[in-house]
């Protein structure tokens, strides 16, 4: 299996080489565009019945039609490329339009005027392609194959990403190929088409194809479609990224390339230079080839003008050990039970902090103080426990000594802050002494080991094959297959070396394999009726989890865990304040998943040309699939300072790693996976579109798309969910109980029949140099799960055992000790008890869960043709999103993330006014008991939840968010012509929303304070950059044969040079504000924000020179205050600060990438046969970025601007083309 690619790649490639003849011409491209227009006589009258033939210059394939009674003609389903159009009619000369360039998915209007004369007479009416879009209101940004090759793009995430050009060069875009936004749409929301078929993953609605992509070498052209798109496009929220694949031609054409990056070529970044360190190892090699031509079998088959093939291969190997900030590990002393340095303020950094009325210094007695007018402590009183002992900041307490004294909970401190080994939990002892925990490299309590990038070793293979066959002049068949394979070490925690290290490390082994298949048949049924059918298959397999060396090794038993499987090492997590061990890195990976997902796609599109109308009718079908495959875990154990604190002093005493040494968990859980489930989600679409050419200058685009959204289901009905109306027998029949599907009833919700998407557009050609366009389109995203799996629908088939809290009357007591036997499921699986999911996080779907969100897009555009093949375009582009993805609360436990608008079991923030009682147990407050057998050891907050028998109740398809976007986008474009091409793009915009991402939970940028008051979350988005200017240009020296200056032999020296660059300049990053240290009750979200108490949010303008070591103050700390807390840290209300500050931003960004290359011709007679050397530089001026890095109120570095990044990166490349 290691060399699968050799068999797949080399065998067909060598076969095709042997079957092909050599000649030089341009590549042909993939599907599909339309050429239309009017045939007119010298007086401007229409000419019906004219014969129209379009010839693809690269393949010689002809497409024919006849002008209608209104003189209109349409040639749909044409591959992009360069065409010659011939028009003949009785009593008129045969007119020819040459060099008509059709872009991918373009509706190109070419009006042809005939001259009176004999048909045998020839006249060329045009030798230049139209530059203006006069036939559609859609906004399309095209990139040609030559521009695609010339623009300076680094190999990134294993390959030259095919969407890099969108986010680096086009207006209205922000972010990156991994997580970007287009025209204010949510991240992961635009649709990506490969050969006209959506990529169609089931875990992402769109926007990202980094791990499931063809090679950039295989891309012919691409078009970004926005605004008023035709009804044949679903469109995602705001855009379609449409890519076609190169096809073979009548000539054998090929290329080979090699890209290299090495730390020796790069400049030293600022942090490394300041620290006096050497450059870290960075080695990346990327190489591949492409080859295509006609199918030729000597004496058997000659495929010129008929059958063509194209293949490509790409391989990457990357090693990168670049430092990426720091991680926190337990110190050597901590691993010996010695926590005495917690009493040293120089070690902890806590020295005189004044928070919520408490004056705190490590090793000193905590004092309660009043606050003077300047916020300084006065009238301080030292604090004691119920036995009269001083409360010392940083003290560790023994949870086994918990008791009541005079009505107050007390514990005894460990003498000298030392935990003797005899008190350690046996499991913790085995982990430290037998499994091992890596030692920190720095003598600090926090940030004591250098963190590296999450994928230090990475390999990629991509193979593609395309075949085109012209069955006849009326039927054209095309097929394409692509396989991508990625192998890397990954890390969801804070990665550091060694790799993979002991089992306590969190390094994951991830292998992703993607298979993509496309088939299409274009047919001319009559001169006025044409049809295209297409089918696609997408399969993305993500195998991810613990390193194989730790899987099924009985590690749980070897370290002493009881009643847990030996599938893998358990997960051990820490939480709390930074100075209390809350940022100690997670131990263990704790999962092994292999989840294939993807889609089957079918399309049928019929074009009927009638008079001035070009009608399109179509049907589309998609069936998304996701197969859940995973191993049972060995438990997840959460540790917090609470288990070793003095109750009532959570933020002043206790330490999370001390709790671990004692085996004293705050909570624990165990996931049991016995069943592989297969989930399916069908979707149907019907559409009709009319491109009505009222006059040769005025076109109306009108259409309607109808999506029919069927419910998702599991293939054999092995699925469950919580029905929020069903009575729960173990909760006094309160609403909310498990219900189960079955073979005869596989669905929980209803089909949605009213998903209509109207489209309307106008395009008016004011003159030969000016076009005015306006349009409206309603689009939507696929109705998929948008998350990593369907785990919430597995109760009763798979299971979870939760130990959420202590069963004693003391809230701070451990939930369970590591060495205790872990509880078993209450009943064996499968279990159809409707109450079997009680006291778990569960999932539900609304009855209208198949009613996805929609976005109303509108645009008004003016295009003007300037001299020198240049087009100026000014566009107002806006949209409004309704019922958008609200974010899921489901999140892999190895990544910290919160919930947005998907939590049905949330509490209103107004209940925070009850204070500490929310975090106390129902046994202490029986008046809050919601039903007779409610677990009294749970908190009052849990009892007050709408469904107190459950912890979280996630809405699986949360369409409940919204957005608004308005922009002015101005572009000046000259496609690469005569050695010069450029795209200048300026965007002035504002994007507002409540949830920025439509991707899985880990990709959200913030969490919700109050599920019932969503206006609190409405703010500018994380990707809102009001001012954005992008300039991309390519220049070729005008020296060489056939160019302006022919210097003979000198052409080899000063000719063939090409320069290119991408410049990006935009406003600074939006700024969020956070706070920590609050003991947030269950059901109030993941956290709260602080108060904004002043309008003076900054200390002046954005700083110029930045202090590298300590940062330069920028935000005004006095403008923010932590929300009011009780003595033990319970918030009394949510803060007033918005999700992102509306008028304050970080420092602006300036980024450049330059490229220089030199071509060496290999044959004088063949300009397109050459060898090329190139160099690409990012950050050529070696600028250092400036960022606000700490947004947490109260932190020492809050609001400071630090210099980071920088370091010029150089990439060398070589390629040969023939």
Tell me the mean pLDDT in the region 815-824. Answer: 96
- Strands 307-320, 282-294: pairing kind: antiparallel
Average pLDDT in the chain: 89
Residue 780: per-residue pLDDT: 87
Q: Is pLDDT above 80 for 1004?
A: no
908 DSSP assignment: P
**pLDDT band, very low/low/confident/very high, at 609 (cuts 50, 70, 90):** very high
Q: Which CATH architecture has domain 33-126?
A: Sandwich (2.60)
How would you class 498 by CB atoms within 10 Å of its CB: exposed for 0-12, middle for 13-18, buried for 19 or more? exposed
Q: Is pLDDT above 80 for 945?
A: yes
**pLDDT band, very low/low/confident/very high, at 329 (cuts 50, 70, 90):** very high
Least confident of 147-151, 208-212, 675-679, 1134-1138: 208-212
Question: Higher model confidence: residue 120 or residue 187?
Answer: 187
Tracing tokens 């940062």 back to the chain, one arrives at 1111
Question: Higher model confidence: residue 825 or residue 10?
Answer: 825
**pLDDT band, very low/low/confident/very high, at 16 (cuts 50, 70, 90):** very low
CATH 2.60.40.1120 range(s) for the chain read: 33-126
Q: Is pLDDT above 50 for 6?
A: no
Count of beta carbons in the 10 Å neighbourhood of residue 127: 11
CA–CA dist 910, 197 (Å, integer): 49
Q: Is pLDDT above 70 for 23?
A: no
Residue 693: per-residue pLDDT: 92
- CA 740-683-1002 angle, 5° bins: 70
**pLDDT band, very low/low/confident/very high, at 31 (cuts 50, 70, 90):** low
How would you class 925 by CB atoms within 10 Å of its CB: exposed for 0-12, middle for 13-18, buried for 19 or more? middle
Q: Is pLDDT above 50 for 102?
A: yes
Question: Higher model confidence: residue 5 or residue 853?
Answer: 853
Residue 20: per-residue pLDDT: 37
Q: Is pLDDT above 90 for 1183?
A: no
- CA 108-193-863 angle, 5° bins: 35
Count of beta carbons in the 10 Å neighbourhood of residue 722: 29
Q: Is pLDDT above 80 for 454?
A: no
Most trustworthy range by pLDDT among 201-210, 382-391, 902-911, 998-1007 = 382-391
**pLDDT band, very low/low/confident/very high, at 492 (cuts 50, 70, 90):** low
CA–CA dist 807, 815 (Å, integer): 7
**pLDDT band, very low/low/confident/very high, at 489 (cuts 50, 70, 90):** confident
CA–CA dist 947, 937 (Å, integer): 17
849 DSSP assignment: T
Q: Is pLDDT above 80 for 881?
A: yes
CA–CA dist 391, 384 (Å, integer): 5
Which stretches does DSSP call E strand in 11-93? 33-40, 51-56, 62-66, 72-78, 81-88
Residue 1086: per-residue pLDDT: 64
Residue 999: per-residue pLDDT: 74
Q: Is pLDDT above 50 for 893?
A: no
Tell me the mean pLDDT in the region 749-760. Answer: 92
Residue 7: per-residue pLDDT: 41
Q: Is pLDDT above 50 for 846?
A: yes
H-helix or E-strand spanning residue 1052: helix 1051-1054
User: Which runs of consecutive H residues, i.e. helices, occur in 650-739?
Assistant: 656-661
Q: Is pLDDT above 70 for 175?
A: yes
Tokens of 383: 């604090």
Q: Is pLDDT above 90 for 1050?
A: no
Residue 895: per-residue pLDDT: 43
Residue 1006: per-residue pLDDT: 56
Q: Is pLDDT above 50 for 24?
A: no
Residues 6+ apart with CB under 8 A from 366: 358, 359, 360, 382, 383, 391, 392, 393, 649, 652
Residue 481: per-residue pLDDT: 98
**pLDDT band, very low/low/confident/very high, at 15 (cuts 50, 70, 90):** very low
**pLDDT band, very low/low/confident/very high, at 1126 (cuts 50, 70, 90):** confident
Q: Is pLDDT above 90 for 1217?
A: yes
CA–CA dist 30, 194 (Å, integer): 9
Tell me the mean pLDDT in the region 373-378. Answer: 89
Residue 498: per-residue pLDDT: 79
Half-sphere exposure in the Cβ direction for 1086 (13 Å, CA): 20
Least confident of 572-581, 794-803, 804-813, 1149-1158: 804-813
Q: Is pLDDT above 60 for 28?
A: no
Residue 1001: per-residue pLDDT: 56
Q: Is pLDDT above 60 for 962?
A: yes
Tokens of 1043: 């160019």
Residue 644: per-residue pLDDT: 97
Tell me the mean pLDDT in the region 854-863. Answer: 97
Q: Is pLDDT above 70 for 1165?
A: no
Least confident of 422-431, 917-926, 976-985, 1120-1129: 1120-1129
Length of the chain: 1218
CA–CA dist 720, 727 (Å, integer): 15
Q: What is the pTM of this model?
A: 0.87
Residue 126: per-residue pLDDT: 67
Least confident of 131-145, 357-371, 474-488, 885-899: 885-899
Tokens of 987: 């965007």
């Amino acid at each position: 299996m290691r060399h699968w690619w050799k068999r797949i790649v080399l065998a067909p490639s060598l076969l095709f080489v042997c079957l092909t003849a050599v000649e030089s011409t341009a590549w042909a491209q993939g599907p599909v565009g339309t050429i239309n227009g009017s045939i007119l006589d010298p007086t401007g009258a229409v000419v019906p019945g004219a014969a129209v033939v379009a010839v693809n210059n690269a393949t010689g394939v002809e497409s024919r039609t006849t002008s209608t009674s209104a003189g209109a003609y349409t040639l749909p389903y044409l591959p992009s490329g360069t065409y010659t159009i011939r028009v003949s009619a009785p009593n008129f000369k045969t007119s020819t339009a040459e060099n008509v360039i059709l872009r991918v998915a373009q509706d190109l209007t070419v009006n042809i005027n005939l001259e009176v004369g004999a048909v045998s007479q020839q006249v060329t009416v045009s030798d230049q392609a139209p530059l203006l879009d006069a036939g559609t209101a859609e906004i399309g940004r095209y990139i040609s194959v030559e521009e695609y090759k010339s623009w300076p793009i680094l190999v990134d995430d294993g390959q030259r990403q095919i969407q890099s050009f969108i986010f680096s060069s086009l207006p209205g875009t922000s972010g990156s190929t991994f997580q970007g936004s287009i025209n204010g749409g949510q991240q992961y929301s635009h649709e990506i088409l490969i050969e006209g078929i959506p990529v169609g993953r089931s875990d992402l609605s769109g926007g990202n194809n980094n791990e499931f992509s063809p090679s950039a070498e295989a891309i012919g052209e691409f078009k970004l479609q926005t605004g008023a798109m035709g009804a044949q496009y679903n469109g995602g929220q705001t855009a379609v990224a449409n890519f076609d694949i190169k096809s073979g031609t009548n000539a054998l054409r090929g290329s080979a390339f090699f890209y290299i990056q090495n730390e020796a070529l790069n400049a030293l970044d600022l942090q490394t230079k300041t620290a006096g360190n050497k450059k870290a190892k960075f080695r990346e090699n990327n190489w591949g080839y492409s080859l295509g031509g006609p199918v030729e079998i000597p004496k058997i088959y000659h495929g010129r003008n008929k059958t063509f093939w194209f293949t490509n291969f790409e391989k990457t190997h990357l090693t990168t050990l670049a430092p990426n900030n720091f991680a926190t590990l337990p110190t050597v002393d901590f691993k010996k039970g010695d926590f005495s340095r917690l009493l040293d303020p120089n070690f902890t950094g806590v020295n005189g902090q004044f928070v919520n009325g408490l004056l705190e210094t490590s090793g000193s007695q905590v004092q309660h103080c009043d606050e003077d007018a300047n916020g300084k402590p006065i009238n301080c009183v030292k604090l004691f426990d119920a036995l009269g002992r001083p409360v010392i900041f940083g003290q560790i307490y023994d949870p086994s000594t918990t008791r009541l004294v005079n009505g107050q909970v007390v514990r005894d401190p460990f003498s000298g802050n030392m935990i003797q080994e005899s008190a350690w939990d046996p499991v913790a002892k085995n982990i430290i002494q037998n499994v091992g925990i890596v030692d920190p490299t720095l003598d600090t309590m926090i940030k004591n080991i250098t963190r590296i990038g999450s994928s230090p070793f990475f390999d990629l293979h991509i193979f593609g094959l395309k075949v085109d066959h012209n069955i006849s002049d009326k039927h054209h068949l095309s097929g394409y297959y692509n396989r991508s394979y990625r192998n890397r070490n990954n890390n969801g925690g804070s990665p550091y070396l060694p790799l993979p290290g002991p089992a306590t490390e969190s390094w994951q082994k991830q292998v992703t394999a993607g298979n993509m298949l496309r088939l299409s048949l274009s047919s001319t049924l009559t001169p006025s009726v044409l049809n295209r059918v297409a089918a696609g298959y997408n399969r993305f397999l993500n195998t991810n989890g613990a390193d194989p060396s730790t899987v099924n090794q009985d590690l749980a038993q070897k370290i002493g865990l009881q009643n847990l499987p030996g599938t893998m090492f358990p997960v051990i997590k820490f939480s709390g304040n930074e100075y209390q061990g809350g940022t100690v890195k997670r131990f263990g990976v704790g999962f092994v998943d292999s989840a294939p997902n993807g889609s089957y796609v079918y399309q049928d599109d019929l074009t009927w040309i009638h008079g001035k109308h070009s009608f399109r009718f179509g049907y589309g079908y998609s069936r998304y699939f996701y197969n859940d495959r995973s191993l049972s875990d060995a438990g997840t154990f959460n540790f917090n300072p609470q288990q070793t604190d003095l109750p009532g002093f959570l933020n002043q005493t206790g330490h999370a790693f001390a709790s671990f040494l004692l085996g004293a968990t705050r909570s624990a859980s165990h996931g049991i996976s016995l069943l592989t489930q297969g989930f399916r989600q069908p979707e149907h679409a019907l559409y009709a579109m009319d491109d009505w050419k009222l006059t040769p200058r005025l076109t109306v685009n009108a259409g309607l798309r109808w999506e029919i959204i069927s419910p998702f289901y599991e293939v054999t009905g092995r699925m469950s969910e919580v029905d929020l109306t069903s009575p729960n027998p173990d909760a006094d029949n309160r609403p909310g109980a498990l219900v189960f599907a079955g073979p005869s009833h596989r669905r929980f919700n209803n089909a949605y029949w009213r998903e209509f998407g109207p489209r309307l557009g106008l395009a008016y050609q004011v003159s030969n140099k000016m076009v005015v366009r306006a349009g409206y389109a309603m689009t939507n995203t696929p109705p998929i799960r948008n998350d990593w799996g369907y785990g919430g629908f597995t109760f009763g088939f798979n299971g979870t055992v939760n130990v959420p809290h202590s069963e004693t009357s003391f809230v701070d007591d451990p939930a369970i000790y590591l060495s205790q036997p872990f509880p078993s499921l209450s009943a064996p699986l499968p279990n159809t008890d409707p109450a079997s999911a009680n006291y778990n996080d569960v999932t539900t779907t609304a009855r209208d869960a198949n009613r996805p969100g929609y976005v109303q897009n509108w645009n008004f555009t003016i295009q003007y043709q300037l001299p020198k093949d240049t087009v100026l375009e000014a566009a107002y582009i806006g949209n409004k999103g309704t019922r958008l993805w609200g974010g899921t609360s489901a999140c892999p436990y190895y990544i910290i993330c919160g919930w947005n608008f998907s939590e049905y079991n949330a509490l209103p923030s107004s209940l925070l006014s009850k204070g500490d009682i929310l975090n106390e147990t129902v046994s202490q407050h029986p008046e809050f008991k919601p039903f007779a057998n409610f677990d009294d050891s749970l908190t009052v907050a849990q009892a007050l939840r709408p469904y107190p028998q459950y912890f979280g109740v996630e809405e699986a398809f949360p369409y409940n968010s919204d957005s608004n976007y308005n922009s002015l986008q101005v572009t000046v474009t000259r496609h690469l012509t005569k050695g010069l091409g450029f795209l200048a793009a300026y965007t002035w915009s504002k994007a507002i929303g409540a949830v920025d991402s439509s991707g899985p939970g880990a990709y959200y940028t913030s969490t919700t304070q109050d599920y019932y008051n969503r206006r609190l979350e409405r703010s500018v988005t994380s990707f809102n950059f009001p001012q954005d200017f992008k300039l991309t240009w390519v220049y070729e020296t005008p020296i060489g044969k056939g160019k302006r200056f022919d210097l003979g032999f000198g052409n080899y020296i000063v000719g063939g040079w090409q320069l290119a660059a991408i410049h990006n300049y935009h406003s600074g990053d939006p700024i969020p504000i956070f706070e920590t240290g609050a003991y947030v009750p269950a059901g109030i979200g993941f956290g709260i924000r602080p108060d904004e108490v002043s309008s003076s949010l900054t200390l002046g303008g954005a700083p110029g020179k930045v202090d590298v070591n300590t940062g330069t103050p920028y935000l005004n700390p006095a403008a923010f205050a932590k929300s009011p807390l009780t003595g033990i840290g319970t918030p009394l209300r949510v803060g007033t600060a918005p999700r992102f500050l509306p008028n304050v931003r970080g420092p602006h960004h300036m980024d450049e990438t330059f490229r220089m290359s030199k071509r060496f011709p290999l044959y004088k007679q063949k300009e397109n046969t050459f060898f090329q050397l190139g160099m690409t530089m990012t950050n050529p001026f070696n600028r250092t970025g400036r960022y606000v890095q700490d947004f947490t109120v109260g932190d020492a570095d809050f609001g400071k601007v630090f210099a980071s990044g920088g370091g010029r990166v150089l990439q060398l490349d070589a390629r040969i083309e023939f």
